[in-house]
Amino acid sequence: MTESKNTYLSSLEGKTPRIVVLDGYTLNPGDLSWAALQQLGDCVVYERTPAAQTVERAQQAEVLFTNKVVLDRNILAQLPRLRYIGVLATGYNVVDVEAAREAGITVTNIPAYSTASVAQMVFAHILNFAQRVELHAAQVRSGQWTNHTDFCFWSTPQTELAGKTLGIVGFGRIGQAVARIGQAFGMRVIFQNRSLKTGLHGHFQQVDLETVFRESDFVSINCPLTSENQGFVNKSMLALMKPGAFLVNTGRGPLINEADLADALNSNRLAGAGLDVLTVEPARPGNPLLSAKNCFITPHIAWATFEARTRLMQIAVENLAAFLHGKPQNVV
């Protein structure tokens, strides 16, 4: 711990830190409680903070929490009291970590809170594509089964997952959770990861990226976004996929070249895509994927189950408590 942090922590003895949550609505739209955080200091929660109001609202804070509000070098320079930033997410690209470090500001994130929920969403998209339950239920409700000659009907192909190949890009906690679910369905699981994975519990085969795209019936993107892999799912990579294959992205929107994916879907080069993230969020009206064939988009909700958000809140409180006791955890 730096001298400035030691000085800050000692100065808090007998005092109450000023805590500001800049954008608390997505974490807690009303079904959780801020009480545990409020016990740690004088806490103000804003549901949303426009960029133009960030400095004004954070001016007196020693502790800031942000999910998507950007805290860049210019903003941090205007917050001399600030000593702690808690990112209410796993990704922390909204904070200039280097500038924070130079200013003696500790930055923490929330790792591994949504693993089960995100893996579940991957298969929500896969199962939607495989059997289109909602579509068929709507057709029954509209009378199509009642008026049908046969005892059954289907308007989309019905696909069994057993025996199909599931390819995973990125084999961290979420990728491995996806693999275990795929294995439970009887799927062959292959994966690509930037480092060699050993000691895995399960019959998973590590291959190169091109093999994942070439051999898989379902490709799940679960890798982090870096400067090297931005837009790597492009025309040439999509051209490797089987015409009947389905692509799922619950990672980050910019991993995909959206125009190239829309072209692949509209030309029937690819059977479908399930996306929980887009390059710009909320989605802009001109995004070509909004009208692309067989493109199923959910509004960045893979992380948002009640259970995952409860864990996120708990870890956020634990992170701040650890910092206030001089033993910061989950520091980035």
Helical (H) or strand (E) element with 274: strand 272-275
300 is catalytic: yes
- In angstroms, the CA 210 to CA 154 distance is 34
Q: Which one of 173, 214, 269, 300 is the catalytic residue?
A: 300
Please state the φ and ψ torsions of residue 298, each to the nearest 5 degrees.
-105, 150
| CB of 84 closer than 8 Å to CB of 106 | yes
Residue 16 CA to residue 30 CA, distance in Å, equals: 25
**Annotated catalytic residue within 252, 258, 309, 311:** 252
Q: Which is catalytic among the residues 47, 56, 102, 281?
A: 281
- Answer yes or no: 252 catalytic: yes
The Cα–Cα gap between 204 and 190 comes to: 6
Contact 258, 234 (CB under 8 A): no
Query: What are the backbone angles phi and psi of residue 210, rounded to the nearest 5°?
Result: -60, -35
CA distances to 37, 64, 128, 183, 256 from 131, rounded to whole Å, are 43, 45, 6, 19, 25
Q: How many residues does the chain have?
A: 332
Which three-class secondary structure state does DSSP give residue 227? coil
Enzyme catalytic residues: 252, 281, 300
